[in-house]
């Protein structure tokens, strides 16, 4: 694991503290309104069924919405405090809902939890991309490409601001678009066999 990834993993205590102290100013007590509106009513919205991941799910509002819409959902966060809140608000794991405490970049942990290459129909991005160090964004995109089935989708709400520092780290909309338009590498034959 690279030093920046080690720092990211060790930073789970930072996020736990923010949730415990209520210092998560992004909390809306509901799914992000633009995502909710799109998912509920836009003609191009992805349709259930399908298996969908919400990385950096926090209190799980988008996860619960996706389950309500008929998707099998996985809420992923490396903050135990965030996932305790998600369980309190939206219930424990069940057939169509899974809570997973893991680092998005820990491939072994993801695969042990059933997140194998090509196993997802979609990914809903809201606050993970802006929370990770910008130097890890290419790794984020590579992970998404690896987890999505061919033809899978990524629906995201990206924080495009130019304020210094973070998190939340800002994004340049043109750069994000260019990064996401690059085709991901095809899965290797052994990755396909492991699905």
Q: What is the pLDDT of residue 25?
A: 65
| Cα dist from 189 to 19, 23, 113, whole Å | 41, 45, 21
Q: What is the pLDDT of residue 69?
A: 97
Q: Are 118 and 187 in contact (CB under 8 A)?
A: yes
Q: What is the β-pairing status of strands 148-156 and 97-101?
A: unpaired
pLDDT digits (tens, 9 = 90+) for 28-50: 788 999 999 999 999 999 999 99
Q: What is the pLDDT of residue 68?
A: 97
Q: What is the pLDDT of residue 29?
A: 81
Distance CA 116, CA 147 (A): 6
pLDDT digits (tens, 9 = 90+) for 146-172: 999 999 999 988 878 777 877 788 888
pTM over 0.85: no
pLDDT digits (tens, 9 = 90+) for 67-98: 999 999 999 998 888 899 999 999 999 999 99
Residue-wise DSSP of 134-194: GGGHHHHHHHHHHHEEEEEEEEE-------SS-SSPP--HHHHHHHHHSPPPPPPHHHHHH
Flag whether pLDDT at 129 surpasses 60.
yes
Q: Are 171 and 156 in contact (CB under 8 A)?
A: no
Distance CA 114, CA 155 (A): 21
pLDDT, greater one: 139 or 131: 139
Give me 178's structure tokens. Answer: 């260019």
- pLDDT-based confidence at residue 193 (cuts at 50, 70, 90): very low
pLDDT digits (tens, 9 = 90+) for 93-112: 999 999 999 999 999 999 99
- pLDDT-based confidence at residue 23 (cuts at 50, 70, 90): low
- pLDDT-based confidence at residue 192 (cuts at 50, 70, 90): very low
- Domains of the chain (ranges; CATH) run 50-183 (3.40.50.150)
Share of the chain above pLDDT 90, in %: 55
Distance CA 131, CA 194 (A): 30
């Amino acid at each position: 694991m690279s030093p920046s990834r080690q720092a990211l993993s060790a930073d789970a205590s930072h996020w736990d503290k923010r949730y415990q102290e209520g210092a998560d100013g992004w909390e809306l007590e509901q799914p992000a309104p633009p995502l909710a509106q799109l998912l509920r009513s836009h003609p191009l919205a992805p349709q259930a069924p399908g298996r969908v991941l919400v990385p950096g799910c926090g209190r799980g509002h988008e996860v619960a919405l996706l389950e309500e819409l008929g998707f099998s959902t996985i809420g992923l966060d490396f903050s135990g405090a965030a996932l305790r809140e998600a369980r309190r608000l939206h219930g424990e794991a069940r057939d169509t809902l899974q809570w997973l405490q893991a680092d998005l970049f820990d491939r072994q942990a993801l695969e042990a939890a059933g997140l194998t290459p090509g196993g997802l129909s979609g990914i809903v991005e809201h606050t993970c991309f802006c929370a990770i160090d910008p130097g890890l964004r290419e790794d984020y995109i590579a992970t998404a490409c690896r987890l999505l089935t061919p033809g899978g989708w990524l629906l995201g709400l990206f924080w495009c601001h130019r304020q210094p520092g973070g998190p939340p780290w800002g994004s340049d909309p043109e750069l994000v678009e260019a990064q996401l338009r690059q085709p991901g590498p095809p899965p290797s034959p052994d990755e396909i066999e492991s699905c």
